[in-house]
Amino acid sequence: MKVKNAPTDFARCVSRFLTSHLPGERNLSPQTIKSYSLALKMYIEYLCVSVAMKPEHIELKDITSDSIKGFLTSMGESKCLSPSTHNQRLSAFKSFARYAILEHPTFLQNGQRILAISSKRSIMHEIVYLEKEAMKALLAVPDQTSDRGRRDLAIMAMLYDTGARIQELIDLKVKNIRLAKPETVSLLGKGRKMRTVPIMTETAKIVESYMHDRGFLEQPACGELYLFNSTNRAQFTRPGISKILKRYFEIAKVVNPAITFPENIHPHAIRASRAIHLLESGINIIAIRDFLGHTSVATTQVYLRVNTKAKQDAITRAYPSLANEVPAWRENNDLMALLKELCT
């Protein structure tokens, strides 16, 4: 006997997918889970409008490749969906389809059709990065006589020296830093995977000075605190790091008119700069892949297309280190409520 107002198979499947499968079995990051939650939430809202179907009445049999294609098409028409965003949304649906097939074998046919939906070809965007001289000029800007200047220098130096993603830098904790030789940093990357990367002695000194300012070295209990935080000790956000970077970038351009800088800057440009400089130094691309935390060397290879000269230089000469030239320094039955909660 069917229980009145009981969750549908779709509601139960989505709840377990988001609250158990993705964080537990797949070990995906909160950011990725949030992205998948948003895609499903928007799709459910699309079904409500396009076929007048209430969220609590949606069943797995209603999840079809045609409705997903219709949703993606409507998103493109209303919000000028880029190929990359289109593919991110589609990736969420395909991941859900694989999970639903295992949980509900009767979904196999619909699931296979969803998995067969083609991705859009992404436009190859120009890689924004800083040449070595521009990077040195950027790192020379912060005022090292002030606490804030030393903090900002530590942020930029760590972002460059570790090649960290912006979220990896934001999530970095005091306990993840090793200042004794060999100096290293442990980064929590995509898929909640930890990787340990070396840092230059000069970078370690910059970070040590910043940690001394914050009292992190004198208090052993600070290990669980985030390494970089704002003046009110709140964890930094992506916009916060971007604002710091852009402020010094604009100053560096004014102070160094003879140096060529890209038109704009963003945190990922520092990661790209590190990757390209490593390639120019002749470092093996497999080692760079592991250093950056890429799952596939194909992702790392995008940096090879920056210019032909970089590929030639990587073979013929060694790249001089910056070290001596940088200044010292639950399962929830209310499906929509769950999705809204995970999307915030």
Which domains does the chain possess? 9-123 (1.10.150), 132-316 (1.10.443.10)
Pair type for strands 177-178 and 194-198 = unpaired
Q: What is the pLDDT along the chain (344 residues), one digit of tens a residue?
A: 455 568 899 999 999 999 999 998 888 888 889 999 999 999 999 999 998 889 999 999 999 999 999 999 988 765 667 788 888 999 999 999 999 999 999 999 999 999 999 988 766 567 899 999 999 999 999 999 999 999 999 999 999 999 999 999 999 999 999 999 999 999 988 877 899 999 999 999 999 999 999 888 877 778 888 999 876 777 888 999 999 999 999 999 999 999 999 999 999 999 999 999 998 888 888 999 999 998 888 888 888 877 555 555 544 443 444 444 444 445 555 666 666 666 66
CA 127 to centroid of chain Cα atoms: 16
* Residues in a beta bridge with 178: 184
pTM, two decimals, is 0.64
* Residues in a beta bridge with 175: none
* 235 backbone dihedrals φ, ψ, rounded to 5°: -65, 140
How many CB atoms sit inside 10 A of residue 267's CB? 22
Let me know: does 158 contact 209? Beta carbons within 8 Å: no
At which residue do the structure tokens 């210019």 appear? Answer: 307
185 CB-near residues (< 8 Å, 6+ apart):
158, 162, 164, 172, 176, 177, 178, 196, 197, 199
pLDDT of residue 44: 95
pLDDT of residue 183: 94
pLDDT of residue 79: 61
CA 274 to centroid of chain Cα atoms: 16
Let me know: does 208 contact 217? Beta carbons within 8 Å: yes
Phi-psi region of 46 (alpha: psi -120 to 50; beta: other; left: phi over 0): alpha
pLDDT of residue 218: 79
pLDDT of residue 9: 94
Closest CA to 244 of 128, 171, 157, 173: 157
Q: How far apart are CA 153 and CA 210, in angstroms?
A: 9
pLDDT of residue 14: 95
